[in-house]
C-alpha cells in the first residue's frame, strides 16, 4: 500500500465515523433530549408540576416541563420535540382532570412510568354544571402538598434505591407548603368579607376561593378552550356593577383583551396580573410555586383593599 492510499484509507475511516456520529445524533440526540448523565429523567406537563417535582428530586435527576413558562396548558399544541422528550423519560407526570387534554395522546408511545396526579387516590374535585371536573387543585398549598406526596411515591417506585431520599425531601417540602398555607390565610384576613370577590380571566381559583373564603367569578370558566359568550360577558359586567369591588384580575396565560374591556365598562381597575396555570421564567416574580402563590396573594390583597 502506498503512503497516499494509506492516508486516503484513514480519511475514509474518519469520514465514516463522522457520518455514523451524525446519523446517531439525528436519531437519538435532539435539543429537547434530557441530560444523558442524569440518574433519572422526569418530564411534567406544566411548570408548576416541574417545580414541585424538583423539590422532591435530587440534583442528578433532570426535570423538564412540556408546556413552557407563561403558556396556557389547556390549549397547548405539543411539538415533535415534546414527543421525543417524553419517549426518553423515565417518569412522566401530568395533572389530569382535563387540565391538559392533549397530553394522554403523547403518553401512548412511551416506556416510562406515567402518572396523572388527580387520577391517583381520591381528591375533593369540584365539577362544572356540564360534569367537567375542575383541574386547578394545586392552587391551594395544602393540596399542592398532596401532589408532592404522589410525586415522591412515583419517583420512589421508579428509582427504588433512592426511595427514602425522595420521601424525606417530600416531607420537608410538605411542611413548607403547609406553612405557606397558614401564611396566606393570615394575609387574606386583612380583606373585609364584603370585598372577598375574586374575578379572574378563567376559573383557576375555585379551590383557592373555597379554601380562603373568596367568592370567585371568571370570564372563561374552568377551561380556556372556548371563547366567552356575550351572555358570560354581560353577567360578569352585572356582577361587577352589583358588587362594587374595586379590582379584577387578568392572568398571565390567558388573553386579556375582553377582561380589560369589561373593566372599562364596569368602571373597575385591572390588578397586577395573576399566575395560575404556568409559572413565570427564572428570575420573575413567579419563578416557583411558592413565589407564585405569594405574588398572587399580595396582588389580590392590594387590589381588593383599595
Ligand atoms: Zn386553567
Per-residue pLDDT tens over the stretch 55-75: 999 999 999 999 999 999 999
Lowest-confidence segment of 7-11, 38-42, 123-127, 139-143 by average pLDDT = 7-11
- Clarify whether residues 139 and 154 are in a common domain: yes
Concatenated DSSP letters of 111-132: -SEEEEGGGSS-----B-TTSP
- Clarify whether residues 114 and 96 are in a common domain: yes
- Clarify whether residues 51 and 19 are in a common domain: no
pLDDT score at 16: 40
pLDDT score at 9: 37
pLDDT score at 190: 95
- Clarify whether residues 23 and 47 are in a common domain: no
Final residue in a domain of this structure, among 166, 184, 202: 184
Final residue in a domain of this structure, among 184, 202, 221: 184
| 267/136 Cα distance (integer angstroms) | 29
Could you tell me the CATH number of the domain that includes residue 95?
A: 3.40.50.1980
- Centre of ligand 1 to C-alpha 224, Å, is 7
- As a whole number of Å, the CA-based R_g of the chain is 24
- Clarify whether residues 17 and 84 are in a common domain: no
- Mention every residue, 6+ apart, whose C-beta is less than 8 A from residue 179: none
pTM beyond 0.85: yes
Domain that holds residue 149: 40-184
Q: Answer whether residue 52 is part of any domain.
A: yes
- Centre of ligand 1 to C-alpha 209, Å, is 14
For the record, the C-alpha cell of 56 comes out as 422532591
Q: How confident is the model at residue 158 (pLDDT cuts 50, 70, 90)?
A: very high
| Tens-digit pLDDT profile for residues 198-219 | 999 999 999 999 999 999 999 9
Concatenated DSSP letters of 177-230: HHHHHHHHHHHHTTS-GGG-EEEESSSS-HHHHHHHT-EEEESS-S-SSSPPPH
- Centre of ligand 1 to C-alpha 27, Å, is 35
**pLDDT of 233 strictly over 90:** yes
- Clarify whether residues 238 and 122 are in a common domain: no
pLDDT score at 19: 38
Please list the residues that pair with 133 across neighbouring strands: 127
Q: Answer whether residue 108 is part of any domain.
A: yes
- Clarify whether residues 49 and 18 are in a common domain: no
Task: Count up the domains in the chain and report the number.
Answer: 3
- Clarify whether residues 199 and 76 are in a common domain: no
- Clarify whether residues 47 and 178 are in a common domain: yes
Q: Answer whether residue 35 is part of any domain.
A: no
For the record, the C-alpha cell of 75 comes out as 390549549
| Total number of residues shown for the chain | 306
| Tens-digit pLDDT profile for residues 91-121 | 999 999 999 999 999 999 899 999 999 999 9
- Centre of ligand 1 to C-alpha 74, Å, is 6
- Centre of ligand 1 to C-alpha 70, Å, is 12
- Clarify whether residues 71 and 169 are in a common domain: yes
- Clarify whether residues 168 and 223 are in a common domain: no
- Alpha-carbon torsion angle 99, 104, 110, 111, nearest 10: 80
Q: Answer whether residue 276 is part of any domain.
A: yes
pLDDT score at 244: 81
- Centre of ligand 1 to C-alpha 297, Å, is 18
pLDDT score at 36: 63
- Centre of ligand 1 to C-alpha 76, Å, is 11
With beta carbons less than 8 A apart as the criterion, state whether 133 and 125 touch: yes
- Centre of ligand 1 to C-alpha 108, Å, is 24
Neighbours of 201 (CB within 10 A): 27
| Tens-digit pLDDT profile for residues 118-141 | 999 999 999 998 899 999 999 999
Q: How confident is the model at residue 302 (pLDDT cuts 50, 70, 90)?
A: very high
Q: Which residue is listed with cell 379551590?
A: 207
| 200/262 Cα distance (integer angstroms) | 11
Please list the residues that pair with 270 across neighbouring strands: 248
- Centre of ligand 1 to C-alpha 26, Å, is 36
pLDDT score at 119: 97
**What residue spans of 3-59 are helical by DSSP H?**
3-28, 47-56
| 292/68 Cα distance (integer angstroms) | 15
| 291/297 Cα distance (integer angstroms) | 10
**Span 273-300, average pLDDT:** 98
Please list the residues that pair with 207 across neighbouring strands: none
**pLDDT of 285 strictly over 80:** yes
Amino acid at each position: 500500500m502506498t503512503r497516499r492510499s494509506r492516508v486516503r484509507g484513514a480519511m475514509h475511516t474518519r469520514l465514516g465515523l463522522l457520518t455514523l456520529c451524525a446519523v446517531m445524533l439525528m436519531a437519538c440526540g435532539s435539543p429537547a433530549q434530557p441530560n444523558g448523565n442524569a440518574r433519572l429523567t422526569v418530564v411534567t406537563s406544566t411548570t408548576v408540576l416541574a417545580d414541585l417535582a424538583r423539590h422532591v428530586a435530587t440534583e442528578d435527576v433532570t426535570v423538564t416541563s412540556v408546556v413552557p413558562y407563561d403558556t396556557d396548558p389547556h390549549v397547548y399544541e405539543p411539538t415533535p420535540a415534546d414527543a421525543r422528550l417524553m419517549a426518553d423519560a423515565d417518569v412522566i407526570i401530568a395533572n389530569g382532570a382535563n387540565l391538559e387534554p392533549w397530553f394522554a395522546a403523547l403518553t401512548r408511545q412511551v416506556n416510562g412510568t406515567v402518572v396523572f396526579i388527580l387520577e391517583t387516590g381520591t381528591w375533593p374535585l369540584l365539577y362544572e354544571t356540564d360534569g367537567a371536573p375542575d383541574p386547578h387543585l394545586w392552587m391551594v398549598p395544602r393540596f399542592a402538598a398532596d401532589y408532592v406526596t404522589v410525586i415522591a411515591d412515583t419517583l420512589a417506585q421508579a428509582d427504588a434505591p433512592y426511595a427514602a431520599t425522595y420521601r424525606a425531601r417530600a416531607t420537608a417540602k410538605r411542611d413548607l407548603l403547609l406553612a405557606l398555607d397558614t401564611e396566606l390565610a393570615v394575609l387574606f384576613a386583612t380583606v373585609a368579607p364584603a370585598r372577598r370577590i375574586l374575578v379572574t380571566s378563567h376559573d383557576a381559583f375555585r379551590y383557592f376561593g373555597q379554601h380562603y373564603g373568596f367568592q370567585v367569578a371568571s370570564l372563561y370558566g374552568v377551561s380556556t378552550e372556548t371563547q366567552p359568550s356575550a351572555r358570560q360577558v354581560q353577567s360578569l359586567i352585572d356582577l361587577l356593577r352589583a358588587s362594587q369591588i374595586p379590582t379584577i384580575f387578568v392572568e398571565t396565560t390567558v388573553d386579556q383583551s375582553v377582561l380589560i374591556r369589561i373593566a372599562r365598562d364596569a368602571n373597575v381597575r385591572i390588578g397586577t396580573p395573576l399566575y395560575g396555570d404556568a409559572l413565570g421564567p427564572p428570575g420573575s416574580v413567579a419563578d416557583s410555586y411558592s413565589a407564585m402563590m405569594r405574588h398572587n396573594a399580595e396582588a389580590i390583597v392590594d387590589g381588593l383593599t383599595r
